Structure 1
Amino acid sequence: MTDTQTSPDTSAEQEAPPAVELPWADVHAEHHRMLRLAPLKTDRNTGGRPLRFVEFGYAERNSKELSLMRLTIKLPGQRVRKEQNLLDVWVDHQTRRVHFGPDSGLQIEPLNRGIGRYLAAQGISWAKKRWPGYTVDGTDLNNKDALNEDTRLRRDHFLRAHGFEVAYADAQHLKGSVKEVKVGDLLADWNSEKLQQVEILEAAQMLQQAEHNLAEQEVKLKKHEEKVSKYKREDAGLRFTITCLVAFAVFQAGLLIWIATHR
């Protein structure tokens, strides 16, 4: 589980037995919350990071054998692939083990805004409150993430920040893996400087303040428009006066020339 992509090596996937079909494939988010992505400096790898609001959703299912917490992020006005911005936390009560999905890894859009950390924190917090003694499965990390040093460091920081142990079998840091860990040892933290939860009352206050600011701007704009209209009227008056003075001056000059030539 990373905020880029973590999945088993291809060879491991080929050797693994066929995956067991899990229930609740059609579960969609039933509870929603607004999140504020704070405006941040432009990142050289991920680009601009303006102020933005996104929707966090989750749904929970439980049976005697399994439990599921499905977490999603929706981006208003933007479509993402179905495997993006999705985190599943699966709990097997028979084996007392926890697995984070999807198997293709946690794929986040937009990157570097704190969304991955937030999703992981919510999933970990849910599991810790209920089954702290369960074990989180270990997994091999995707080799592709290790090809770029910045991507690998970001991935490893993400995992370690949540209490996972990352180990490498080679000096080149290509064959990485995450070790098994007790759910109770994980950390449910996220970067609150990047991402903040917005409650309904806060959202209403923000809308009220925005409406107030808009009304003030409209008043200011109206005053400016009145000033511009006034200046235009004064300008038109000045132009008319100047035109009259020029015409009078031309008339006087012509009259003086006529007098001078007819004496």
Structure 2
Amino acid sequence: MPSAFPREDQAHPWTDLPAERFQLLRLAPLPIERKSGARPLRFVELGRVERHHPRLSLLRLSLALPGQLLHKEDNLLEIWVDHGHKRVRLGPAGGLSLNPENRGLGRFILAQAILWLRQRWAHYLLEGQLLQPKNPLDEELRQRREQMLDSLGIAYEYLDPLFTQLQLKPCRISELKGEWNRDKVQLVSLLDAANMLQQADQNLREQDARLRQLDEQLRAHKRDEHGLRFTITSLLVFCLFQTGLLIWMALA
């Protein structure tokens, strides 16, 4: 039986499916890093679409950031399932490219794929795959990638002494771990998002009320200042008049 996986030289009808379900992700603020720079609080949209056929299934996960345009293969993970051969393949072919970097998104999105697979086809086999990044990885990036793969239970080996070609070993889906660092990446429900918006609106209203109160106090202080200036000026004029009167009386 031929493989049901889409061929690289042919466009598959499911290739460019848009996301149909969405969830909100909260990226917790992290300390500033020398390479990544500032890592403030951010919110990311997780998009999900899946299709099923007797021979083939697909799950596509995408990440979108507000006000940021990315290449169509960035922030994208595809999971193709061949039911005839009971095999799983990851895509896109160019590898997983995520932005923002070093925020826990790589482990999170792969964990979501593993959880989806384990619910249905835990006995299927994840195919071996060669990972060859577009740009060479330094020691720190390589260690982060290894830690991510180890945490998910994905076995691998390097094919060259320079650690540029990493081969994922075949393994059963049941052997993988669908876990991620929940301190870094949190799924936000619609109710939680609504509560966050209400809390933010309430905070803005309270700050606006405090600003109005401070403005009224400032205006009152300015009025008091003008009154004090008038009083002081009047006293000075009176003192000068009294001084002039005393001098006139003394000379007279």
Give the structure-1-normalised TM-score.
0.86
- Name 1:11's counterpart in structure 2: none
Shift of residue 92, structure 1, vs aligned partner = 1.5
Give the residue type in structure 2 aligned to 1:163.
Answer: G
| 2:64 matches 1:74 | yes
Contact in 1 for aligned 2:95/2:133 (Cα 8 Å): no
- Name 2:232's counterpart in structure 1: 242
Give the residue type in structure 2 aligned to 1:194.
Answer: K
Give the residue type in structure 1 aligned to 2:46.
Answer: F
- Name 1:40's counterpart in structure 2: 30
Give the residue type in structure 2 aligned to 1:162.
Answer: L
- Name 1:93's counterpart in structure 2: 83
Shift of residue 168, structure 1, vs aligned partner = 2.1
Shift of residue 171, structure 1, vs aligned partner = 4.3
Q: Distance in 1 between matches of 2:206 and 2:117?
A: 48
Deviations, residues 42-92 of structure 1 (Å, cap 9, x unaligned): 121111111111111100011122111010111112222211111111111
Shift of residue 29, structure 1, vs aligned partner = 0.6
Contact in 1 for aligned 2:51/2:59 (Cα 8 Å): yes
Q: Distance in 1 between matches of 2:133 and 2:29?
A: 32
Q: Distance in 2 between matches of 1:140 and 1:201?
A: 41
SS at match of 2:72: coil
Aligned counterpart in structure 1 of residue 155 of structure 2, from 161, 165, 176: 165
Q: Distance in 2 between matches of 1:18 and 1:214?
A: 52
Q: Distance in 2 between matches of 1:22 and 1:60?
A: 14
Q: How many percent of aligned residue pairs carry the same amino acid?
A: 46
Give the residue type in structure 2 aligned to 1:229.
Answer: R
Aligned counterpart in structure 2 of residue 179 of structure 1, from 142, 147, 169: 169
Deviations, residues 168-227 of structure 1 (Å, cap 9, x unaligned): 244443443111111121111111000111111111222222222223223322222222
Q: Distance in 2 between matches of 1:144 and 1:72?
A: 20
Give the residue type in structure 1 aligned to 2:157.
Answer: A
Contact in 2 for aligned 1:143/1:176 (Cα 8 Å): no
Contact in 2 for aligned 1:32/1:56 (Cα 8 Å): yes
- Name 1:114's counterpart in structure 2: 104
Query: Relative contact order: is structure 1 or structure 2 higher (C-alpha 8 Å, sep ≥ 6)?
Result: 1
| 2:241 matches 1:251 | yes
Q: Distance in 1 between matches of 2:220 and 2:153?
A: 67
Q: Distance in 1 between matches of 2:21 and 2:133?
A: 35
Give the residue type in structure 2 aligned to 1:71.
Answer: L
Equivalent runs, 1:196-207 vs 2, <5 Å: 196-207=186-197
Structure 1 spans left out of the alignment, 5+ residues: 1-16
Q: Distance in 1 between matches of 2:244 and 2:35?
A: 76
Deviations, residues 95-137 of structure 1 (Å, cap 9, x unaligned): 2211111111111111111222221111111112111122112
Give the structure-2-normalised TM-score.
0.89
Q: Distance in 2 between matches of 1:170 and 1:24?
A: 35
Report the aligned-residue RMSD. 2.0
Query: What is the count of residue pairs matched by the alignment?
Result: 246
Q: Distance in 1 between matches of 2:127 and 2:12?
A: 17
| 2:146 matches 1:152 | no
Q: Distance in 2 between matches of 1:175 and 1:201?
A: 44
Q: Distance in 2 between matches of 1:259 and 1:103?
A: 107
Question: In 2 relative to 1, CA 217–162 (structure 1 residues): closer, same or farther, beyond 3 Å?
Answer: same
Give the residue type in structure 1 aligned to 2:229.
Answer: R
- Name 2:184's counterpart in structure 1: 194
Higher alpha-carbon deviation: 141-150 or 27-36: 141-150
Q: Distance in 2 between matches of 1:169 and 1:75?
A: 35
Write out the 4+ residue segments of structure 1 that deviate beyond 6 Å after TM superposition: none
Equivalent runs, 1:47-66 vs 2, <5 Å: 47-66=37-56
